[in-house]
Chain A
Amino acid sequence: MLTPADLGALFLTFKVASIATLLMLLLGTPLAWWLARTHSSWKGIINAVVALPLVLPPTVLGFYLLVMMGPAGAIGKFTSWLGLGTLPFTFPGLVIASVLYSLPFVVQPLQASFSAIGEQPLEAAATLRAGPLDTFFSVVAPLAKPGFMTAAILGFAHTVGEFGVVLMVGGNIPDKTRVVSVQIYNHVEALEYTEAHWLAGGLLLFSFSVLLVLYTALKTHPVAHPLK
């Protein structure tokens, strides 16, 4: 069964994923809204940057983050100047890395559902005295609800499933940065296959359930078209 170290890793994983998901929704919503509506020539570049973690080996992203957040990196110098020390091998560092790594899984469904809403409901709202922010909360948000659900679920699940970035940026510190995927790796390294089975099976079941919910209950396609 699960050891106390396993339980600690599980708890930490869900903590990281919850906080990261919240941050991704806060950050990803305005970003996706801008991407869905802008005609700016920056759109292509920003789209590419956001989507980069989809194709980049996690170790590459982790490596650059490690360097940048380290004492000699730009982010590291800034956080030191703020008196916060450096971020690698800390919980906040882990959350920041997770946000960057999973952001496309939140931005893309949101962007697709915002685009699908189109101009018409926004114009109707404007002729009915609703300002832009009012329109977002009273028309866009309810119409994009499936997109938000998909974004939150995918963002959360993808953060739970990360390994490479965590290992590079967070390391392997019990109860601080050791998440489930790293714990499984530890078990396998120590030839503790039974323990590894429990955790790995658990993650498999979790991931499958998440996708099952997405494809059946929400009847959405995770990335392409969150709205029918």
Chain B
Amino acid sequence: MTSIQARFQLDYGDFKLDVDLQLPGAGITVLFGHSGSGKTTLLRCIAGLQHAPLGKLEINGNIWQDSENGLFLPTHKRPLGYVFQEANLFPHLTVRDNLHYGLKRIKQNPGAVKLEQTVELLGIGQLMERLPERLSGGERQRVAIARALALNPEILLMDEPLASLDSKRKQEILPFLSRLHQQLDIPVLYVTHSQQEVAQLADTLVIMENGRALASGPLSETQSRLDVPLAQDREAATVWSATVAEHEIEYHLTRVAFAGGSLSLPMVDAPVDTPLRVQIYARDVSIALEAPTATSILNVLPATISGIADGRDGQSVIRLQVGDQALLAHITRKSALLLGLQIGMTVYVQIKGTSILN
């Protein structure tokens, strides 16, 4: 389901932005890249805070920019929510007045219930009468997220909302973002340079470099693409979406199901059907040609090799398809050669370890 189409060209001399993206109208799309890759500029172009001279932007069937026809909707007329890197609250207004600032200015007020839900979701109910200077960095950012969400926007844009916080504050906010993820029915565009945030939040991943989108698509598929540097990284991993299927209490294990198979994980304290994100590091995946009959590894899954590339330090990077999910394996080049791995081969992957991200 494509409902965001964004095409921008912008030239600042030493920096050029040139993207043409189709993005889904639901879930979190993470724009990932190093500083200077153009991810924030892209987000600002979508918000209208920056005016790309050449551009076409369509959100949910509404055109926000069309330079060919001289159309450019100013930011204040776009039904969006924006969260800045620094919370950017109005210093002269209390938390309550910050939250109401936008509400007073929209025609269709989503009502007090929506605001109450947002306030509760972000846990800021007890901060309402405070001024921003009396809030911690984490509290400020939560208020900023609530302020953007209270407007019931058609799309939520977040520009590195955790980047200015220390790791303790980050851990304080990430659970809120995960909850948002489950409860929000609007698309979220989320800019970050942190692989951890990609793993925890992304449904769709766009990898940006030098003002261009190197790759864009569903998370595990994009993470495992061999033509982008991410797959070569020592910390390379794929994240699968799964749900709790059953608990094996006597073994202290939980079986989770994903599209095309299931995995056994150390006991997860969550009811059946709870959605989970399971991260599998490429270094924790090994490959066998036949189904191993005697192994201590519980998670052995049939897979098809969909790509092979040279990795760093004598390694091979193998891309596999397991059911509907893509998987990366880092193995030694020698093993790859001895096993005679080829694209299209059916093999068995053994997954030595997994981690749950939510």
Which residues in A have some Cβ–Cβ distance to B below 8 Å?
A: 120-121, 123-131, 134, 138-139, 142-143
A128 touches B86 (CB 8 A): no
Q: In the complex, A125 Cα to B49 Cα: how many Å?
A: 11
Residue of A nearest to B89 (CB): A124
B76 touches A120 (CB 8 A): no
B101-109, B186-194, B350-358: which lies at the A interface? B101-109
Q: How distant is A174 from chain B, measured CB to nearest CB, in Å?
A: 47
Interface size classification for chain B: 20 to 34
Of the candidates A127, A139, A142, A143, the one whose C-beta lies within 8 Å of that of B82 is: A127
Q: How distant is B48 from chain A, measured CB to nearest CB, in Å?
A: 8
Of the candidates B48, B91, B92, B102, the one whose C-beta lies within 8 Å of that of A128 is: B102
Inter-chain contacts of A126 with B (CB < 8 A): 48-49, 74-76
Question: Dominant SS at the B interface?
Answer: loop
Q: List 17 A-B contacts (CB under 8 A).
A: A120-B86, A121-B90, A124-B84, A126-B74, A126-B76, A127-B75, A127-B80, A127-B102, A128-B102, A129-B102, A129-B105, A130-B76, A131-B74, A131-B76, A134-B105, A138-B101, A142-B92
Does B226 sit within 8 A of A, measured CB to CB? no
Inter-chain contacts of A139 with B (CB < 8 A): 90, 92
Q: How distant is B146 from chain A, measured CB to nearest CB, in Å?
A: 12
A124 touches B74 (CB 8 A): no
Does B151 sit within 8 A of A, measured CB to CB? yes
Q: Count A/B pairs, Cβ under 8 Å.
A: 59
Residue of A nearest to B78 (CB): A127
Inter-chain contacts of B86 with A (CB < 8 A): 120
Q: In the complex, A129 Cα to B76 Cα: how many Å?
A: 4
Q: In the complex, A129 Cα to B48 Cα: how many Å?
A: 12
Does B47 sit within 8 A of A, measured CB to CB? yes
A129 touches B151 (CB 8 A): yes
Residue of A nearest to B44 (CB): A123
Residue of B nearest to A145 (CB): B92
A123 touches B90 (CB 8 A): no
Residue of A nearest to B87 (CB): A124
B76 touches A143 (CB 8 A): no
Inter-chain contacts of A143 with B (CB < 8 A): 91-92
B49 touches A121 (CB 8 A): no
Does B2 sit within 8 A of A, measured CB to CB? no
Inter-chain contacts of A121 with B (CB < 8 A): 88, 90-91
Does B81 sit within 8 A of A, measured CB to CB? yes
Does B148 sit within 8 A of A, measured CB to CB? yes
Of the candidates B84, B101, B147, B148, the one whose C-beta lies within 8 Å of that of A120 is: B84
Q: How distant is A154 from chain B, measured CB to nearest CB, in Å?
A: 23
Q: In the complex, A5 Cα to B84 Cα: how many Å?
A: 62
B105 touches A128 (CB 8 A): yes
Q: In the complex, A127 Cα to B82 Cα: how many Å?
A: 6
| Contact mask for chain B residues 314-325; partner A; CB cutoff 8 A; 1 contact, 0 none | 000000000000
B92 touches A120 (CB 8 A): no
Of the candidates A123, A130, A134, the one whose C-beta lies within 8 Å of that of B49 is: A123
Q: In the complex, A126 Cα to B81 Cα: how many Å?
A: 10
Inter-chain contacts of A127 with B (CB < 8 A): 47, 49, 75-76, 80-82, 102, 148
Q: How distant is B101 from chain A, measured CB to nearest CB, in Å?
A: 5
| Contact mask for chain B residues 114-136; partner A; CB cutoff 8 A; 1 contact, 0 none | 00000000000000000000000
Inter-chain contacts of B101 with A (CB < 8 A): 125, 128, 130, 138
Given contacts A134-B105, A142-B92, A143-B92, contact A128 B147 (CB under 8 A): yes
Of the candidates B84, B147, B148, the one whose C-beta lies within 8 Å of that of A123 is: B84
Q: In the complex, A119 Cα to B143 Cα: how many Å?
A: 20
Given contacts A127-B75, A129-B76, A129-B151, contact A120 B88 (CB under 8 A): yes
| Contact mask for chain B residues 213-237; partner A; CB cutoff 8 A; 1 contact, 0 none | 0000000000000000000000000
B106 touches A123 (CB 8 A): no
Q: In the complex, A125 Cα to B147 Cα: how many Å?
A: 11
Inter-chain contacts of B89 with A (CB < 8 A): 124
Q: How distant is A193 from chain B, measured CB to nearest CB, in Å?
A: 51
Q: Which 10 A-B pairs have the closest CB atoms?
A: A128-B102, A127-B82, A126-B75, A129-B105, A124-B88, A142-B92, A126-B76, A120-B88, A131-B76, A129-B76
Q: In the complex, A134 Cα to B104 Cα: how many Å?
A: 12
Q: In the complex, A22 Cα to B75 Cα: how many Å?
A: 33
Inter-chain contacts of B75 with A (CB < 8 A): 123, 126-127
Q: How distant is B193 from chain A, measured CB to nearest CB, in Å?
A: 21
Q: In the complex, A120 Cα to B49 Cα: how many Å?
A: 11
Q: How distant is B176 from chain A, measured CB to nearest CB, in Å?
A: 20
Inter-chain contacts of B74 with A (CB < 8 A): 126, 131
Inter-chain contacts of B91 with A (CB < 8 A): 121, 143
Inter-chain contacts of A131 with B (CB < 8 A): 74, 76
B106 touches A129 (CB 8 A): yes
Inter-chain contacts of A129 with B (CB < 8 A): 76-77, 102, 105-106, 151
Inter-chain contacts of A138 with B (CB < 8 A): 101
Q: How distant is A137 from chain B, measured CB to nearest CB, in Å?
A: 12
